[in-house]
Amino acid sequence: MTRARMFALALTGVVATALIGGCSSATESAPASPSGAGSGSITVFAAASLKSAFTEIGEQFKTDNPGSSVEFSFAGSSDLVTQLTQGADADVFASADTRNMDKAVSADLVEGGPVNFATNTLTIAVAPGNPKGIKTFADLAKPGTTVVVCAPPVPCGGATEKVEKATGVTLSPVSEETSVTDVLGKVTSGQADAGLVYVTDAAGAGDKVSNVAFPEAAQAVNTYPIAVLKQSGHADLAHRFVDLVTGEAGQKALAKAGFAKP
Percentages (nearest 5) of helix, strand, coil residues in the chain: 45, 25, 30
Q: What is the pLDDT of residues 224-238, one digit of tens each?
A: 999 999 999 999 999
Q: How confident is the model at residue 61 (pLDDT cuts 50, 70, 90)?
A: very high
Choosing among 3.40.190.10, 1.10.10.10, 3.30.9.100, 3.40.980.10, the CATH entry for 40-119+223-257 is 3.40.190.10
Domain boundaries, the chain: 40-119+223-257, 120-221
- Residue 44, strand partner residues: 72, 92
Closest CA to 77 of 16, 154, 188, 146: 154
Flag whether pLDDT at 171 surpasses 60: yes
Q: 120-221 is classed in which CATH architecture?
A: 3-Layer(aba) Sandwich (3.40)
Q: What is the pLDDT of residues 88-106, one digit of tens each?
A: 999 999 999 999 999 999 9
Please return the burial class of 4, using the count of CB atoms within 10 Å of its CB with bins 0-12, 13-18 and 19+. exposed
Same fold yes or no, 40-119+223-257 and 120-221: yes
User: What are the strands, taking DSSP E only, across 3-109?
Assistant: 40-47, 68-75, 92-94
Q: How confident is the model at residue 116 (pLDDT cuts 50, 70, 90)?
A: very high
pLDDT of 38:
57
* Pair type for strands 194-198 and 122-126: antiparallel
Q: How far apart are the first and last CA of the chain?
A: 92
Quote the pTM value. Answer: 0.83
d(CA 132, CA 138): 13
- Residue 228, strand partner residues: 92, 111
- What separation in angstroms does the CA of 24 have from each of 17, 28, 222? 11, 6, 62
d(CA 69, CA 41): 5
Q: What does the CA dihedral 198, 205, 238, 88 come to, rounded to 10 degrees?
A: 80
- Residue 124, strand partner residues: 196, 212
CA 76 to chain centre: 10
Q: Is the CA virtual torsion 261, 164, 100, 191 positive or negative?
A: negative
More confident residue, 152 or 3: 152
Share the mean pLDDT of the chain.
89
Contact criterion met (CB below 8 Å) for 220 and 150 = no
The alpha helices in 171-217, defined as continuous H runs, are 180-188, 199-204
Give the amino acid at 210: S
d(CA 30, CA 205): 57
Closest CA to 155 of 95, 225, 104: 95
Q: What is the pLDDT of residues 182-231, one digit of tens each?
A: 999 999 999 999 999 999 999 999 999 999 999 999 999 999 999 999 99
Residue 97, phi then psi, degrees to nearest 5: -160, 165
Contact criterion met (CB below 8 Å) for 84 and 106 = no
Q: How confident is the model at residue 28 (pLDDT cuts 50, 70, 90)?
A: very low
